[in-house]
């Protein structure tokens, strides 16, 4: 594949592509839960290289994977005397063990284009 440029004056590692003829913005991403499309988040056939010019795809037209996390905190305070108390606390983070995926690779010249390779945040 030829080098892609975002304009005639300078090279870019992330140029804007064109929407393929007959495709719409809804065709750019694949359907289904994110964890089932980690290797094909983008529909490659709906996009094409723009070559040495600005592509017709606008900025920020595709949303990345959504972020979900449920944290839980339970506490119980028991007063022992007027000035002292005892507190029991339990905390759980990401109790549903749901991964938070990063954005997929956006470089059309890479073989990993449209692939999600990492998760966001700390360990689950």
Angle in degrees, CA 55, 56, 61, rounded to 5? 105
86 CB-side CA count, 13 A: 4
In whole angstroms, give the CA distance from residue 29 to residue 20. Answer: 13
pLDDT by residue, tens only, the chain of 124 residues: 455 444 445 555 556 788 899 998 899 999 988 888 999 998 888 988 877 777 888 878 888 888 888 899 999 999 999 999 999 999 998 888 888 899 898 888 788 888 998 888 765 5
pLDDT of residue 75: 97
pLDDT of residue 1: 46
pLDDT of residue 18: 87
Determine contact, residues 68/94, Cβ cutoff 8 Å.
no
């Amino acid at each position: 594949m030829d080098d892609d440029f975002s304009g005639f004056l300078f090279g870019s590692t992330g140029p804007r592509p064109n929407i393929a003829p007959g495709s719409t913005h809804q065709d750019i991403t694949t359907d289904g839960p994110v964890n089932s499309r980690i290797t094909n988040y983008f529909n490659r056939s709906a996009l094409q290289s723009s070559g040495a010019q600005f592509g017709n795809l606008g900025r920020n037209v595709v949303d990345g994977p959504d972020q979900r996390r449920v944290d839980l905190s339970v506490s119980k305070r028991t007063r022992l005397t007027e000035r002292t108390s005892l507190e029991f606390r339990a905390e759980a983070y990401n109790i549903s063990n749901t991964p938070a995926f990063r954005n997929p690779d956006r470089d059309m010249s890479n073989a990993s284009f449209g692939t999600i390779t990492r998760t966001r945040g700390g360990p689950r």
